[in-house]
Amino acid sequence: MKKILILLILVSFVLLEVPSFAIQENRLELGVHKNKKEAEKSFTLSPYWENYQDNLLDEYIQEALENNFDIKIAKSRVKQSEAMLGTVNAQRLPQLSINPSIYPFKTISRWTGRFGSGNHLYLPLLLNWELDIFGKLTDNVKSARYSVKMSKEDLNIAKLSVSAEVAASYFNIILNDALIKNYEEIIANTKETIRLKRQLYDGGIIPYDNLYTTEYELVGYQNELNTILKQRDILLHQFAVLRGVSPEGGAEILRADISRLNFPFNVDEPISSDLIFQRPDVIQAEFGIKKAALDVRAAKKAFLPSVNLNEMVGFENIRASRIFDWESTVYQLGAGLLLDLYTGGYKMSYLKYNKELAIERLHQYNNVLLNAFCEVENALSSYKEDYNSYNEFNEAIEKSTHYYNVANIRYTNGTGNRIDELDAKRKLLINENSMYSAKVSSLVDTVNIYKSLGSAIR
């Protein structure tokens, strides 16, 4: 009787100690409330690329969303997490097994002294079912469901990232096409200027430093052209990989002219910062907090006993010919309670681990939010400044065009020279390159804004 009382005291001590654990940091408590159910957020990738009004871009992004291997890997991980959910959910169901066995035996008769032997045959059907009285298995299932949701947000993160990379690469390829075309014209222009200046130098009209300066400029233009050619090749290869195809033959892709690229929205477009809460990484961080809370609760419930229902039905006999007779039928039904009294501190350490992991999830959520706000602010600031530069270069091009027209008229009328006309044309082309760069930078900024706000600005 004393042993039973001691056992009851130990059980009550464990049950009273478990609820005292809580996750607290700066008066912040993390828990799961059964009576308070909130609607969970869900992410939907908005086809923001359609706002650029470029059918080729639409096709390339759709191709990437279907064939990109990062997205395929994310899809596979979703299926893996769903399979793991199935294994955890199966623990709540009864486990049924069959255990046929044979036990040889040998006996001696106390009357005759002779030995006898035989086989003890068993053919039982076993059932074991852990009754989820305290909800331990249910919490594990809920935690596994959040793991599935988090893996789905990983897929959404991959889709958003890949679509943004495809759009940015597409715009930069178009930029390189325009820059290469202009630099080829600039180089041809400079070579013609050098040819004319060399004639003037040979005639003793201009000094050598005038000719040398132009020759040095030609080297610089040629190096810039080589750099842009290399960048375009790299972009074309990356663009092919993003779409899940071989980099070979990537230069054959169709693309629009830079003059046909449109801005999806104005610089002064009103944008709500609340949209960052629809980002997939923010939603994933929220799921992580909820999963951590469930893991803490499951770790607390590990201190509680487990209740199992055991059942056995089958046949038992020493003769194989009579194993299936009704006289050989056996049946057992019982229940058992298992309570760990000492585990070397394993459960306490596991609870502490989950508490710290939950606090880490809280810090991670705050970090994701801060980085999200930072990305939005950076993208908006970049768009504003790049768009202002684009407008300024447009004004410079108007002046350069006027200057070139005047130089061309003077040369045609015989009041000017060919070298001045070539210089005016070259300055116009250089200003066009700066304008093209500012325009594409602004377009890439709009892509970053869509990405930082979770693919929608409204």
pLDDT in tens, 185-215: 999 999 999 999 999 999 989 999 999 999 9
| CA separation for the pair 57, 60 (Å, rounded) | 5
Q: For the ranges 91-100, 114-123, 290-299, which has the lowest average pLDDT?
A: 114-123
The structural domains of the chain, ordered by start, are 2-33+40-92+134-304+343-452 (1.20.1600.10), 96-131+305-338 (2.20.200.10)
Phi and psi at 39, nearest 5°, equal -75, 125
| CA separation for the pair 245, 66 (Å, rounded) | 11
> Which pLDDT score, from 0 to 100, does residue 5 have?
35
- In this structure, the number of other CB atoms found within 10 A of the CB of residue 1 comes to 5
Q: Each residue of 8-41: b (16+ CB within 10 Å) or e?
A: eeeeeebeeebeebebeeeeeebeeeeeeeeeee
Residue 377 pLDDT greater than 90, yes or no: yes
> Which pLDDT score, from 0 to 100, does residue 38 have?
60
pLDDT in tens, 243-277: 999 888 667 899 999 999 999 999 998 988 789 99
Is the Cβ–Cβ distance between 362 and 25 less than 8 Å?
Answer: yes
Confidence band (pLDDT; 50, 70, 90) for 106?
low
Average pLDDT of every residue of the chain: 87
Calculate the alpha carbon distances from 297 to 34, 135, 143 in Å.
12, 10, 10
pLDDT in tens, 386-443: 999 999 999 999 999 999 999 999 999 989 899 999 999 999 999 999 999 999 999 9
Q: What is the DSSP string of 120-182?
A: EEEEEEEEEEEE-SSSHHHHHHHHHHHHHHHHHHHHHHHHHHHHHHHHHHHHHHHHHHHHHHH
Residue 236 pLDDT greater than 50, yes or no: yes
Phi and psi at 181, nearest 5°, equal -60, -45
Q: For the ranges 76-85, 211-220, 322-331, which has the lowest average pLDDT?
A: 322-331
| CA separation for the pair 294, 140 (Å, rounded) | 7
Calculate the alpha carbon distances from 173 to 25, 234, 242, 294 in Å.
50, 10, 14, 48
> Which pLDDT score, from 0 to 100, does residue 112 have?
66
pLDDT in tens, 168-186: 999 999 999 999 999 999 9
Confidence band (pLDDT; 50, 70, 90) for 103?
confident
Is the Cβ–Cβ distance between 309 and 131 less than 8 Å?
Answer: yes
What is the share, in percent, of the chain residues with pLDDT greater than 70? Answer: 85
Percent helix, percent strand, percent coil in the chain, to nearest 5: 65, 10, 20
